[in-house]
Structure formats: C-alpha cells, structure tokens
C-alpha cells in the first residue's frame, strides 16, 4: 500500500514472453499489493511464464481482443480487487517500472486523478530510439489535441498510466474502442469529466523485443486520434454529446 491506499499494477500483454520477466522483477513489490497479467491470446508462453514468476492474477483471452479490449479486462479485474490506485504498465520493458512509486504518490496524495509517464518531457524519446516519423507524428498530434481538447499535455500517446479508482468508476471506458485509440478516448473522457491529469518524465527504450505498431497501423491510429479530438471539441462547445462522455454515475 501507499498512504493506506491499495495499489494494483496491470500488465496488458501480447507475446511478451521475452520481456515479461525483466519488467516484473523491477516492479516495487514493497508498495504494490497485486499484479494482474492479461494475456491477449498470445502465441507464445506469456501466461505460463507469468505463473512461474508467481503472478497471482492471470487472465488469458481465448481470442485476441486488441489493446483496448485487453485494458478493459485489466481495469475490471483491478476494480474487482478493490484497487484504490491502478497503474497500467506495458510488459514489453519499454517503460521502467521504477517510476511506479512516484506515479502512485501523485495520486495517493490527492494531487492528481490520472498520471501519464511522458516520453516527451525531457529529451528521452529520440535518445531512447523512438523512430523519427513517430516522434514527428507525436508532436503534431499532441499540438492539435491540446487545441481541440483545451488541455496542455506534453503527449497523449504514452502507454504508461496511473489512475485513481474514482476515474475507473466514473469514466465509461467499456464503451471505448478495443484498438489502440482506446488510450486517447480515455484521456478525452478524463478531461471532459474535469479530472486532474499530471505528468512525469519517463525515459523509454525501443528494441526488437519491445512491442510497436507498424506504419500502416500508426496511420490508422493517427486518424482515430484526430476523430476523437474533433469529437471532443464539438462536445466541449455543446454541439453534440456522444455516448463516449456519458458517465457511469
């Protein structure tokens, strides 16, 4: 626990056998109460390795649901475990688990409701091996999103995130996409509901074993991000209010 709050780390996994152990062994179990691994119908031995590592909560999808679908299972399980703080960490070892205490602290103290591990704060993205075209797309999309969503974030596309239980109980994330644009829909919902978002500088590393979407899927993702951003803008000025922004309570 941290400040008396239960901390659960969720690992949305797909073919993460080669990197899962490196990720898991760096998780600070002195403050983390539970770890949840969701294997999205991997073709390797991700789930089996998770059991060998002693991960208590392992869920395996029989059919691949996609990145967003995987996260839905992660958060539903975390809520079932009565988590107060949930940190989503990719098990591909692209993001360091060593930032978990700092991210959890920012929520446990009541300063923020969501914390993003930003690859853009500082100068770590390109040094960590982020492809130049992805860096340029990241900066362009973030610029457009900050205008349309009326926020001021350094990036919207990180896969390292911490949430308060209140957000997960309020935001209707089950209605979100099951693909990669799930993350952007979640930020849009969080801003629309007037929750507080903080950021922390996060070094990242790109290597062969780390998961990454290809160029064509990146283009599809970028178009989805723009769709969500314009949807948010029109909802913000009162022209429409899609189901995406209807809260659970």
Domain membership of residue 183 (yes or no) is yes
217 confidence band (pLDDT: 50, 70, 90): confident
- Bigger pLDDT: 128 vs 80: 80
Which of 117-131 are b and which e, b meaning 16 or more Cβ less than 10 Å from the residue's Cβ?
A: bbbbbeebbeebebe
Domain count, the chain: 1
| Domain presence at residue 36 | yes
Residue 187 near residue 245, CB atoms below 8 Å: no
Print the domain residue range for 114: 7-245
Tell me the C-alpha distance between 51 and 45, whole Å: 10
pLDDT tens string 86-126? 999 999 999 999 999 999 999 999 999 999 999 888 776 77
Long-range contact pairs involving 22-28 (C-beta distance under 8 Å, separation at least 24): 22/93, 23/89, 23/90, 23/91, 23/92, 23/93, 23/97, 24/50, 24/53, 24/55, 24/91, 26/96, 26/97, 26/98, 27/89, 27/97, 27/100, 28/97, 28/98, 28/100, 28/101
Asked if residue 1 is part of any domain, the answer here is: no
Q: Which has more confidence, 206 or 29? A: 29
Give the whole-angstrom CA distance, residue 183 versus residue 161.
Answer: 9
Residue 51 located in a structural domain: yes
Q: Convert the pLDDT of each residue in 73-90 to its tens digit.
A: 999 999 999 999 999 999
In a domain, residue 111? The reply is: yes
pLDDT tens sequence across 19-68: 999 999 999 999 999 999 999 999 999 999 999 999 999 999 999 999 99
pLDDT at residue 175 above 60?
yes
What is the pLDDT, as a whole number, of residue 209? 57
- Per-residue burial over 54-76, b if 16 or more Cβ lie within 10 Å, else e, is ebebbbbbeeebbbbbbbbbbbb
pTM: 0.91
pLDDT bin (cut points 50, 70, 90) of residue 129 is confident
**Residue 195: inside a domain:** yes
pLDDT of residue 133 exceeding 80: yes
In a domain, residue 2? The reply is: no
CATH number at residue 177: 3.90.550.10
| Per-residue pLDDT, 51 | 97
List CB contacts of 15: < 8 A, sequence separation 6 or more.
42, 43, 44, 46, 211
Query: Is position 135 within any domain?
Result: yes
> Token match 């029989």: residue?
62
């Amino acid at each position: 626990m941290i400040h008396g709050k239960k901390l659960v780390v969720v690992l949305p996994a797909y073919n993460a056998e080669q990197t899962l152990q490196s990720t898991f062994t760096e998780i600070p179990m002195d403050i983390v109460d539970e770890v949840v691994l969701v294997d999205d119908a991997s073709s390797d031995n991700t789930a089996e390795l998770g059991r060998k590592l002693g991960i208590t909560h392992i869920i395996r999808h029989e059919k691949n649901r996609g990145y967003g679908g995987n996260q839905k299972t992660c958060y539903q399980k975390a809520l079932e475990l009565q988590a107060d703080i949930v940190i989503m960490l990719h098990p591909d070892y692209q993001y360091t688990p060593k930032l978990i205490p700092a991210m959890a602290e920012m929520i446990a103290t009541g300063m923020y409701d969501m914390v993003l591990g930003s690859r853009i704060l500082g100068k770590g993205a390109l040094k960590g091996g982020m492809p130049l075209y992805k860096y340029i797309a990241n900066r362009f999309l973030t610029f457009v999103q900050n205008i349309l969503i009326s926020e001021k974030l350094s990036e919207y596309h990180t896969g390292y995130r911490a949430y308060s239980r209140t957000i997960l109980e309020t935001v209707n994330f089950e209605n979100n996409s099951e693909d990669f644009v799930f993350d952007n829909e979640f930020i849009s919902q969080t801003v629309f509901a007037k929750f507080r978002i903080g950021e922390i500088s996060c070094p990242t590393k790109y290597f062969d074993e780390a998961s990454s979407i290809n160029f064509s899927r990146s283009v599809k993702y970028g178009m989805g991000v723009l769709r969500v951003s314009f949807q948010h803008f029109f909802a913000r000025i009162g022209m429409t209010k899609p189901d995406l922004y209807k809260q659970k309570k």
